[in-house]
Structure formats: C-alpha cells, structure tokens
Amino acid sequence: MVSAKARIREAYAQCAQAIVMGTVSLERAEDAGFSVHSPVFPVSQAASLAHVHPQTLREYDRAGLVQPMRTPGGARRYSISDIDRLNQAQKLSQQAIGIAGIALILDLREENRELRRELRRLKRPQGESVFAADSAGHVREFRVDFPARGGRAGWRRALYGEVYQIESRHALRKLALETHHQEIRQIEAPRDDAQR
C-alpha cells in the first residue's frame, strides 16, 4: 500500500513534469491546490525533472538564477516554481541569452505572474467569509461564494477543499522534516561508528 506522503510526492513530481512539458501553468497548478513554492525535490530529482545536469543547478544557484531553499543540514530542495524557472532558464540559454539577461527575464515573468494572481483575486466576486481553525490551531478566514444551486452546501465543499490543501501542506512539511531527520541520522551514523 502506498503511503499518503508517497502519493503527495508523486503528485508533485507529475505536476512538475506537466509544467516542464507545457501542459500546465504555475497558475493552474496553484489553482489545483499545489503549493508551488514548497521545497519538495532534492537535487537529483530536480535535475531529472528539468532535464539538466545537477552541476547546472549548482551553477544557477551560485549565479542567483534559481536559488532553492535549503534544509537545516544544507541540502538543496527545489519547488515546482523552481523547476519551472529552471526549465525557462534552459530554454533562454539555448537561445544564446546570457545569465544576466536570463535572470532579468525570469524576474519580470515572476513579477508578471504575481500581478496576474493578484488581479484574479481582486476580480473574484465577493462572497461570504467562514472562519475555521487550521491544522496548527490558527484561525483562518476562508472566502466562499455561494453557488446558485447548492445553497450553504457550497461553503462546506469549499471549506473541505481548503482543509484538504492544509492537510497536504502539513503532510509536505512533515515529510520535509522527516527527510531532514533521516539525513541527520545518516550523517551522524558514520561518526558514531568511528567513535567506537
């Protein structure tokens, strides 16, 4: 039986592949509930997804082109948005655009994406707000539009969707923490053997 963590990890990998292939945009991935900025992929998987050599990832990191998040142990972790940025950087590099030009283009694209996201948020019809506690016990506001059919059941469906997204993010954070602890155990294990 496949664990929930493994299913979430696989869903994120499939989403990243779809973005690289151009069948899904970051906006659609976000709308589908993916946390596109969550650091999910280790270097080897990110390189494989973006079709680049792991050394290219290090070069882009040093140049400030794609800067992944790091675990407390220092390991790089890439997000879906990082994979998209890597893919775009590769395409621009193949067009003989230099690193500085690529960085500028990618930064402008990201700014444009953020502005489009804000515009979509502002264009959404004003609905009712429902307040509920998230998995950490913090009170959150959920904006809900009541559909013409379905009445108050509409807010329940929306709230359950939000709760599922929160649980997914919580599972990813827990996965990242467990991965970090495993890395620490692997690093400390040789030291323990050497001390004996």
Taking residue 20's Cβ as centre, other Cβ atoms within 10 Å add up to 19
- Tens-digit pLDDT profile for the chain (196 aa)? 678 888 888 888 999 999 999 898 888 888 888 888 989 999 999 999 999 999 999 999 988 888 999 989 989 999 999 999 999 999 998 999 998 899 999 999 989 988 988 888 778 766 666 666 666 666 666 665 544 444 555 555 555 555 556 556 656 666 666 766 676 666 666 554 555 5
Nearest Cα residue to 88 out of 134, 135, 133, 50? 50
Residue 96 backbone phi and psi in degrees, to 5? 65, 35
> Which pLDDT belongs to residue 149?
43
> Which pLDDT belongs to residue 32?
82
How many angstroms separate the most distant Cα atoms in the chain? 71
> Which pLDDT belongs to residue 133?
65
> Which pLDDT belongs to residue 148?
41
Answer yes or no: are the C-beta atoms of 187 and 53 closer than 8 Å: no
Domains in the chain: ranges and CATH = 1-123 (1.10.1660.10), 126-196 (no CATH)
Answer yes or no: are the C-beta atoms of 49 and 16 closer than 8 Å: yes
Question: What type of residue is 181?
Answer: H
Angle between helices 80-94 and 43-50 (to 10 degrees): 50
